[in-house]
Structure 1
Amino acid sequence: MILQQTVSKEIQFSGQAIQNGKEVTMTVYPQPAGSGIIFSRSDLAGKPRVRAKAENVVSTKKSVTLGRDGWKIATIEHLMAVFHGLGIDNALVEVDGDELPSGDGSALVFAEQILEAGITTQELPRKMIHIKEPLWVEGTVFSGELPLNAMLLALPSDHLEVSFVFTSDHPVTGNQFYNFKFSTERFLKEIAPARTIAFMREVEYLRSQGLARNTDLNIAVLVGDEGYENELRFPEEIVRHKILDILGDLYLAGPIVAHLVAFRSGHTLDLEMAKKITQLQNKQEG
């Protein structure tokens, strides 16, 4: 039997948000068994809370945003991936702004500080979600103005595994593939350090839209017209980060046991799968 876990003590992270560029402080608190993952805005009256569930997502534009009653918390996916990777079931995350700090653009900073603080095993069993029959969602992504098919499948398996195909017509990145068989050790080594991608030709446009305003461009894999603008951590860092996103996005449904096969999937399609898994789980429990 696998038991639930929480962080052993209060942990604080500070830094710029990746999209709006504002300085924010995030504090992660231990929570009792059965609490789940909860996000809260400490800068708002009453410190309103929202559960990290698929039905509470209000946007998937460039990141995953939770919200309710007009307020929101954006870019939760990297921290959620760490909770997934380290087996954290219960935590309260307080943020004094509308977006989480970016760390170094990956999930590594969050993972390292949580491990340093410690993880406490609790008395209740984890409710693992075993995918017993194939599930899939399909959608469309755009390469410039060109629409492309995208798909995410969840197949029965006795362990968590993610296979991801990233495609691009950009001469620098090309197509990338990575297969990740889950263990906490492999997550920390292979997935957590992978940063998000930023095409230099898109940065100014994104900033005009209020996005990508973090002043440290090294928090992303910078793709120029003729090569990478900064040093890669892995040859296939881009697709590894896509796997990081999937692990965070699908943790909105809970700890999953399945082989996830992704073809050009992004936050929107990931959320559809999280909702489908949640509906299936509710049906099985009801």
Structure 2
Amino acid sequence: MIPPAPEVSDSRTFRRAFADLQDGLYSSELWLHLGWTDIKQRYRRSLLGPLWITVATGVTAIAMGLLYGTLFGFSIKEFLPYVILGLIFWNFIQNSILEGAVVFSTNEGLIKQLPAPISVHVYRVVWRQLIIFAHNIVIFLVVVAVFRPPITWSALLFFPAIALFVLNAIWVTIVFGILSTRFRDISQLTATVVQLAFFMTPIIWRLGPEVGNKVGSRARLVELNPLYHYIEITRGPLLGEHVAFYHWGIVMACTVVGCAAALLVLRNYRSRVAYWV
């Protein structure tokens, strides 16, 4: 009698990876609650509560805008909104990377005790960043009321741009979160690289036509930094500036590659996270 063939586990399949993402998304009540609880816990017993997010970012952005605007000889009316938006979107990118890299290691107890898809913790991080972003964007609305920058219909491009930010935050959290759980040095390396990237991205400095004419082809080196294109597709429309299509193309290409990498990592290592933490 021929023995039955052993059952083949499908734990390392793309079907299970998609199922984890889908089940986590359906558990919205859980990650919405956890993300909002994180914000409240951070500012527990403070006088302003979560409004400290707005105050801290606003003071930093205004101080840097006034300082570097004066040093570089830029018009404060034009340069201050530029710096404020740059810092707001940079904070979203930076926090998504840094907090995403430690999302599983910092939630060890919850992962081991709560039988939930690991994508719940991913959505929790992204939701938390959206809450912080909503607090920070108020600063720009105040600047709009004061300086009245030229806002056109192109500002509506902000919505697809922020949707791309969310997709990228998801894949970044999955990839760096899972790999950093296995190799703890990755989170330290990521923090160093992100800090360096801040100075290499035009956030508190501008790459205008004058600079481009003086520096020549060397100015094009900035475009090798993918984060530059992410900032451009969000900040440009809100400032009434034309954003070249190649910026969108590069961001969408990075999004597709990143999502593919996230699915691959999720398929291969999703089931091991609970053991690695």
Same fold (TM over 0.5): no
- State TM-score, norm by structure 1: 0.27
When Rg is computed on C-alpha atoms for both structures, the one with the higher figure is 2
User: Of Structure 1 and Structure 2, which has the larger fraction of its residues in helix?
Assistant: 2
User: Of Structure 1 and Structure 2, which has the larger fraction of its residues in strand?
Assistant: 1
- State TM-score, norm by structure 2: 0.28
